A and B are shown apart, each in its own frame.
Chain A
Amino acid sequence: MSKVIGLSGNEAAAYAAKQSKVDVVAAYPITPQTIIVERFSEYVANGEVETEFICVESEHSAMSACIGASLAGARVFTATCSQGLALMHEMLYIASGLRLPIVMAVANRALSAPINIHCDHSDMMGSRDCGWIQVFCENVQEVYDWIIQAFKLSEDLNVLLPMAVNFDGFTISHAMEDIKVLEDEEVEAFLSTRKVKYKLDPNEPMTFGALMLPDYYFEAKRQQEEAMKKAYEKYIDVVKEYEKLSGRAYNYLHEFMLEDAEAAIICLGSTTGLVRQVAKKLRGEGKKVGVLKPWLFRPFPSKEVLKALENIKSLAVLDRAISFGAPFGPLCSDIMATFFSEGKIIPIFNVIYGLGGREITPKEIEEIFNLALKTAKRGKVEEKVKFIGVRE
Chain B
Amino acid sequence: MSKLTWKEIPIGGVIPKGGTAIEYKSGDWRTFRPVIDVNKCVNCLICWIYCPDSSIIRLEKHVDVDYYHCKGCGICAEECPVKAIKMVEE
Residues of A within 8 A of B (CB): 97-100, 160, 197-198, 204-210, 212, 215-216, 218-220, 222-223, 226-227
Q: Which residues of B contact A216 (CB under 8 A)?
A: 3-4, 9, 13
Q: Which of A97, A100, A212, A223 gathers most chain B CB within 10 Å?
A: A223
Docked-complex contact B12 and A100, CB < 8 angstroms: yes
Residue of A nearest to B18 (CB): A205
Residue of A nearest to B10 (CB): A198
Docked-complex contact B11 and A223, CB < 8 angstroms: yes
| B59 interface contact, C-beta 8 A | no
Docked-complex contact B16 and A220, CB < 8 angstroms: no
Residue of A nearest to B21 (CB): A207
Q: How many B residues face the partner with a CB closer than 8 A?
A: 18
Bound: A312/B63 CA distance, A = 78
Residues of B within 8 A of A (CB): 3-7, 9-21
Docked-complex contact A208 and B14, CB < 8 angstroms: yes
CB contact under 8 A between A207 and B9, given known A215-B3, A219-B4: no
Q: Which residues of A contact B10 (CB under 8 A)?
A: 198
- A to B contact number (C-beta, < 8 Å): 62
A–B Cβ pairs within 8 angstroms, 12 of them: A97-B12, A98-B12, A99-B11, A160-B12, A197-B11, A204-B18, A207-B19, A208-B12, A212-B13, A216-B9, A216-B13, A222-B6
Give the residue of A160, A204, A209, A226 whose beta carbon is less than 8 angstroms from that of B13: A209
Bound: A340/B19 CA distance, A = 50
Q: Which residues of A contact B17 (CB under 8 A)?
A: 205-207
Interface SS, A side: loop
Q: Which residues of A contact B20 (CB under 8 A)?
A: 207, 210
Docked-complex contact B12 and A99, CB < 8 angstroms: yes
Residue of B nearest to A206 (CB): B16
Give the residue of A100, A204, A210 whose beta carbon is less than 8 angstroms from that of B15: A210
CB contact under 8 A between A207 and B11, given known A219-B5, A219-B6, A220-B6: no
Question: Shortest beta-carbon distance, A95 to chain B, in Å?
Answer: 10
CB contact under 8 A between A223 and B18, given known A160-B11, A160-B12, A197-B11: no
Residue of B nearest to A215 (CB): B3
Residue of B nearest to A211 (CB): B24
Q: Which residues of A contact B6 (CB under 8 A)?
A: 218-220, 222-223, 226
CB contact under 8 A between A198 and B4, given known A207-B20, A216-B9: no
Q: Which residues of B contact A100 (CB under 8 A)?
A: 12
